[in-house]
Amino acid sequence: MKKLTTFLTGTAAAIAMTAGAAQAERGSDGHLNILYWQAVSILNPFLSGGTKDVEGSSLVIEPLAKFNEKGEMVPALVDEIPTVENGGVAEDLKSITWVISEGLMWSDGTPVTAEDVKFTAEYCMAEDGGCQQVANFTDVESVEAVDERTVKVNFSIPKPYPYGPFVGAQSPIIQKAQFADCVGARAPECTEANFGPIGTGPFVVTRFAANDVIELEANPNYRDAAKPAFATVTLKGGGDAASAARAVMETGEFDYAWNLQVEPEILAQMEAAGRGELISSFGTSVERINLNMTDPSPDKGDDRSTVEAGPHPFLSDPAVRRALSIALDRELIVEAGYGETGRPTCNILPAPEAYASKNVDWCLTQDIEEANRLLDEAGWMPGGDGIREKDGVRLSILYSTSTNSVRQATQALVKDMWQQIGVESELRNVDAAVFFGGDPASPDTFQKFYADVLMYTNNFDGTDPEKYMAEWLCDDAPKPQNGWLGANIPRFCSEEYDALVKKMGETAPLEERQALAIQMNDILTNEGAHLPLVHRGDVSAKSTTLNGVLMNSWDSELWNAADWTRAE
Amino acid sequence: MTDQVSMAPEKVIPPAPGSPVAAEPRKQRTLTADVWRQFRQHKGGVIGAIVFLTIIFLVVFGPSIHGIDPSALNVRERNAGISFAHPMGTDNLGRDTFAQILAGGRTSLSVGVTAMMLSLLLGTTIGVMAGYFKKLEGPLMRLTDLFLALPLLPLLLVIIMLFRDTLRRSFGPETGIFMLIVFVIGITSWMQTARIVRGAVLSVKEQEFVLAAKSIGTRERRVITRHILPNVLSPIMVSATLGIATAIITESALSFLGLGFPSDYPTWGRLLFDGVNFMQINPSRVIWPGLAISLTVLSVNYIGDGIRDALDPRIRGR
């Protein structure tokens, strides 16, 4: 095996050299070191929902179109984005037709055809395939290969936003020849293909060690003969966010490090070392506190935190929810934990710009007096120890989140602010692997929500919020019947809201969709399904010698790795 | 000569008044006095005791002298250096480090001492039983092996998952977690003590004074408490001191995993863990809790060393 790898590497190097001689640029900038502290475990994003895996694979396999740093769709494997105007999208919105660029090749030198695209859809939509990205193929009826280069996606209903399949790093095209035997239940067994997919991206895998390191080299058949500038890439995993930041900005061992949720003063101090710089961009990530609308009391047994357990003893009171929100000084939370990389927000949908509501700013300024007044009015009176109570129910909150120093600092601040309005909180933090692990047997996952309030960040991919806003449907609450897999974590339920979600699925004009999204966002904030805290930027670090990085919150951060170069 | 230790008279018979000896009575030697005299000879032990007592004094009375609330936030004064108001500076949320160290010390030390006592009780009982009663030796030592072989972390996870909510409801979050942590540390650290004690008991129980006691019909309970236990006291004391140190460190490890106390409830281990990232900005955040843990562990170990020497009759004679 080793011999074979050496042989292949040799051949590839020979090809790369020949190519290098013909076109002066490719591979001229040597080696690139990238650090993803959550190590990549598989290079097939269809089999893993993890951001790290999706981003790692984006160096190798690509979708038909990507999102650029502004959230606009840009062609990747096609020449133009199909729209209704250019005839690519049918008038009735029930189909979209993509035309693959001419002469496009896989890294093994075979042509990319419509059959590959069709196969990709079949692969993800196959029964028992466990495809993690199947949501992108919602309502897809069939995918046809019209000719060698033309592929048509048919939807069962009119799709106002037909760019779910084959757009963005989560929906790349895989090669039919390589994955043909890996459809359905056999998908996870094709280790070689999953660890080293043949792609159209700027790099090809030469060595893959799961959860550790990936070695790549320039794709000899990349569509732009002058790119990529780097001949080889190492994508390393391991460590934590702070050490990753240090590796780029202080010691300079790495050129790029991803996802650095570290206190701002620590990052600023590292940046002062001068070897690297922080780059950030704002996507749709919002750090929020979810309020449990159902009763999480252990007395309820298996019904805990489900609709069957009944409404929450005090969070079901709208006055309490509103008071909890205006008691928060979001500016202070941003200052202490996020610095430049966060903005106070009252929106659960803070971006893209056109979808962001400007109507709910009542929670942006802290108003302890008003909060106290609201609680007094609602009959919650301070007891002997200063904690408010009514009919024997104390405003005592169990406040859970994942383990991360920024989150624990935020917890301490919030606890202090709530203390001022006579609300007591008990802090709990759960290891991130457990908290986000989704294990239905663990009582500590965020889906179970065995707490009164829960803090974490969520976002959505791409720029269309339809799927995201549908997360607050009554039916989507996690419960034992659906294996605790629902997305409606706060168990919010409103008929008005459900109707709006349905309406958005049937509305095509962009302006109306934007208005609907804003309306839904306002309902969620005003009703107090959760308390949005911080619109969080994605933070990464790059070496000062690395040029061409365009930080992207809408697609993979490595989306334009082909354009990265080394400064002299 | 060991039997003299246990046979030392419990009461000092007062000399008859008016007798010529009464003016300058020859001091009656007691075990405690002997041990104390010997302990004072051990320089390390004495220094350790002084340091440990100072720490306890500070932790107990410190908060009433340095009256800042350890959980009071003041973001405007964050990452401050040493000043009169904040003798050890502040953390990244403006909490006073000195106040937190004092508050953390209360938790860490009480966890350490209580967990040590629990594990000592378990370890000694099982060790003595296993060493003294031949029938029990097999089952008890296999039980010890079983506990030694148990993977600690999954066990902790299960225990905490099963009992956290129940205890929290009955005793409140802090007391509940305190009991849980003490219990968890106690029942997972008695094995070494049990093994050592068993070994010591095995060697002591074959000695003549024990045989003598048995031959005059002393009950077994009496033999154990009166003759065996005092003679295995030195290994027990040593593992007690080591136990405090281990318990403090285990508690920090639990906090690290998010299984310990709530994050705003300071303990030395948690303060150290939280401070690591800020080491360069504010070194005092790791130096002080680190120093507190090290000094406590070190002083306790020296005290243990001193007590061991003092309790060993062979050394005490010299």
Q: What is the 3-state secondary structure (H, E, C) of chain B?
A: CCHHHHHCCCCCCCCCCCCHHHHCCCCCCCHHHHHHHHHHHCHHHHHHHHHHHHHHHHHHHHHHHCCCCCCCCCHHHCCCCCCCCCCCCECCCCCEHHHHHHHHHHHHHHHHHHHHHHHHHHHHHHHHHHHHCHHHHHHHHHHHHHHHHCCHHHHHHHHHHHHHHHHHHHHCHHHHHHHHHHHHHHHHCCHHHHHHHHHHHHHHCCCHHHHHHHHCCCCHHHHHHHHHHHHCHHHHHHHHHHHHHHHHHHHHHHHHCCCCCCCCCCCHHHHHHHHHHHCCCCCHHHHHHHHHHHHHHHHHHHHHHHHHHHHCHHHHCC
Residue B18: predicted pLDDT:
47
Residue B26: predicted pLDDT:
61
* Pairwise CB contact (< 8 Å): B277 & A262: yes
Condensed to tens digits (0 to 9), the pLDDT of residues A230-274 reads 999 999 988 888 889 999 999 999 999 988 888 888 898 899 988
Residue B192 lies in a domain: yes
* Pairwise CB contact (< 8 Å): A242 & B277: yes
Q: What is the mean pLDDT of chain B?
A: 82
What confidence tier does B24 reach under pLDDT thresholds 50, 70, 90?
A: low
Residue B285 lies in a domain: yes
* CA separation, residue B63 to residues A416, B59, B66, B69, B94 (Å): 20, 7, 5, 8, 18
Residue B151 lies in a domain: yes
Tell me which chain B residues have a C-beta less than 8 angstroms from the C-beta of A265: 79, 92, 278, 281
Sign of CA dihedral A267, A273, A274, A275: negative
Q: Which of B79, B161, B258 sits opposite A265 (nearest CB)?
A: B79
> CA dihedral defined by A501, A506, A511, A516, rounded to 10 degrees?
-10
* Pairwise CB contact (< 8 Å): B258 & A427: no
A184 φ/ψ sector (left φ>0, alpha ψ -120 to 50, else beta): left
Phi, psi of A163 (to 5 degrees): -100, 30
What confidence tier does A297 reach under pLDDT thresholds 50, 70, 90?
A: confident
Task: Quote the radius of gyration of chain B (alpha carbons, Å).
Answer: 24
Any idea what the CATH number is for the domain that residue B213 is in? 1.10.3720.10
Q: Which of A266, A413, A443 sits opposite B73 (nearest CB)?
A: A413
Condensed to tens digits (0 to 9), the pLDDT of residues A48-88 reads 767 888 899 999 999 999 998 888 889 999 999 998 888 89
Q: Which of B73, B161, B264 sits opposite A427 (nearest CB)?
A: B264
Condensed to tens digits (0 to 9), the pLDDT of residues B103-143 reads 989 988 999 889 999 999 999 999 999 999 999 999 999 99
Tell me which chain B residues have a C-beta less than 8 angstroms from the C-beta of A429: 258, 262-263
What confidence tier does B258 reach under pLDDT thresholds 50, 70, 90?
A: low
Long-range contacts of B174-180 (CB under 8 A, 24+ apart): B174/B261, B174/B262, B174/B265, B177/B260, B177/B261, B177/B262, B178/B107, B178/B110, B178/B111, B178/B261
Nearest Cα of chain A lies from the Cα of B288 at a distance, in angstroms, of: 19
Residue B317: predicted pLDDT:
55
String of DSSP letters for A297-355: -GGGGGGTTSGGG-B-TTTTSHHHHHHHHHT--HHHHHHHHTGGGEEE-S-S---SGGG
Residue A8: predicted pLDDT:
43
DSSP tag of A100:
B
Tell me which chain A residues have a C-beta less than 8 angstroms from the C-beta of B258: 403, 429-431
Helices marked H in A29-135 = 51-57, 114-125
Q: Which of A336, A427, A442 sits opposite B262 (nearest CB)?
A: A427
Q: From chain A, which residues contact B within 8 Å (Cβ)? A: 242, 262-263, 265-266, 269, 298, 332, 335-336, 403, 405, 408-409, 411-413, 415-416, 426-431, 442-444, 450
* Residue that is written with structure tokens 């990319």 in the block: A112
As a whole number of angstroms, the distance between CA A418 and CA A371 comes to 10
* Pairwise CB contact (< 8 Å): B278 & A266: yes
- Reading the block at residue A448, the tokens are 């179970």
* Residue that is written with structure tokens 């020449």 in the block: A79
Range with top average pLDDT, A468-477, A520-529, B274-283: A520-529
pLDDT at A17 over 50: no
Residue A143: predicted pLDDT:
93
* Pairwise CB contact (< 8 Å): B263 & A262: no
* Pairwise CB contact (< 8 Å): B75 & A332: yes
Residue B29 lies in a domain: no
Condensed to tens digits (0 to 9), the pLDDT of residues A485-515 reads 778 889 999 999 999 988 888 887 888 889 9
Q: How many CB pairs below 8 A link A and B?
A: 65
As a whole number of angstroms, the distance between CA A249 and CA A35 comes to 12
Tell me which chain B residues have a C-beta less than 8 angstroms from the C-beta of A262: 277
Residue A10: predicted pLDDT:
44
Residue B2: predicted pLDDT:
43
Q: Could you tell me the residue range of the domain that residue B240 belongs to?
A: 34-71+88-316
Find, in chain A, the residue whose alpha carbon is nearest to that of B172.
A426
Above pLDDT 70, what percent of chain A?
95
Nearest Cα of chain B lies from the Cα of A403 at a distance, in angstroms, of: 7
Phi, psi of A392 (to 5 degrees): 80, 0
Find, in chain B, the residue whose alpha carbon is nearest to that of A402.
B258
Condensed to tens digits (0 to 9), the pLDDT of residues B138-173 reads 999 999 999 888 877 778 778 877 887 788 778 877
* Pairwise CB contact (< 8 Å): A336 & B165: no
- The amino acid present at A452, given as its one-letter code, is D
Residue A22: predicted pLDDT:
37
Of B231, B147, B228, B142, nearest to B191 by C-alpha is: B147
Name the strand (E) or helix (H) holding A406: helix A405-419
Find, in chain A, the residue whose alpha carbon is nearest to that of B165.
A298
What confidence tier does A524 reach under pLDDT thresholds 50, 70, 90?
A: very high
Beta bridge partners, A389, equal A381, A394
Angle CA A555–A557–A558, to nearest 5:
110
User: CB of B101 within 8 A of CB of B87?
Assistant: no
Tell me which chain A residues have a C-beta less than 8 angstroms from the C-beta of B93: 336, 409, 412-413
What confidence tier does A561 reach under pLDDT thresholds 50, 70, 90?
A: very high
Lowest mean pLDDT among A105-114, B42-51, B73-82: B73-82
Lowest mean pLDDT among A32-41, B87-96, B241-250, B252-261: B252-261
Residue B13 lies in a domain: no
Q: Which of A269, A409, A444 sits opposite B280 (nearest CB)?
A: A269
Q: Which residue has the higher pLDDT, A97 or B187?
A: A97
SS3 (DSSP) at A286: strand
* Pairwise CB contact (< 8 Å): B263 & A413: no
DSSP tag of A423:
-
Q: Which of B75, B165, B263 sits opposite A427 (nearest CB)?
A: B263
pLDDT at A479 over 50: yes
Of A252, A257, A251, nearest to A239 by C-alpha is: A257
* Pairwise CB contact (< 8 Å): A336 & B257: no
Residue A425: predicted pLDDT:
92
Phi, psi of A111 (to 5 degrees): -75, 150
Of B174, B170, B175, B233, nearest to B201 by C-alpha is: B233
Model confidence, pTM: 0.79
How many distinct structural domains can be found in chain B? 1
pLDDT at A184 over 70: yes
Nearest Cα of chain A lies from the Cα of B253 at a distance, in angstroms, of: 13
Tell me which chain A residues have a C-beta less than 8 angstroms from the C-beta of B277: 242, 262-263, 266, 405
Look at strands A396-402 and A453-458 and give their pairing.
Answer: parallel
- Reading the block at residue B146, the tokens are 């079983």
Find, in chain B, the residue whose alpha carbon is nearest to that of A333.
B75
As a whole number of angstroms, the distance between CA A393 and CA A381 comes to 11
* Pairwise CB contact (< 8 Å): B274 & A405: yes
Residue B120 lies in a domain: yes
Tell me which chain B residues have a C-beta less than 8 angstroms from the C-beta of A430: 258
Residue A359: predicted pLDDT:
87
Q: What is the mean pLDDT of chain A?
A: 87
Residue B172 lies in a domain: yes
SS3 (DSSP) at A357: coil
A93 φ/ψ sector (left φ>0, alpha ψ -120 to 50, else beta): left
Look at strands A232-237 and A396-402 and give their pairing.
Answer: unpaired
Long-range contacts of B202-206 (CB under 8 A, 24+ apart): B202/B131, B204/B228, B204/B231, B204/B232, B205/B131, B205/B132
Choose, out of B90, B96, B255, B264, the residue to mutate when testing the contact with A (most A CBs < 10 Å): B264
Lowest mean pLDDT among A389-403, A475-489, B36-50: A475-489
Sign of CA dihedral A517, A519, A522, A527: negative
Tell me which chain B residues have a C-beta less than 8 angstroms from the C-beta of A450: 165
Residue B12 lies in a domain: no
* Pairwise CB contact (< 8 Å): B264 & A415: yes
Chain centre distance of CA A326: 28
Q: Which residue has the higher pLDDT, B71 or A357?
A: A357
Q: Which of B93, B169, B257 sits opposite A409 (nearest CB)?
A: B93
Name the strand (E) or helix (H) holding A215: strand A213-218
- Reading the block at residue B53, the tokens are 């007592």
Tell me which chain A residues have a C-beta less than 8 angstroms from the C-beta of B167: none
Tell me which chain A residues have a C-beta less than 8 angstroms from the C-beta of B257: 403, 431
Tell me which chain B residues have a C-beta less than 8 angstroms from the C-beta of A427: 262-265
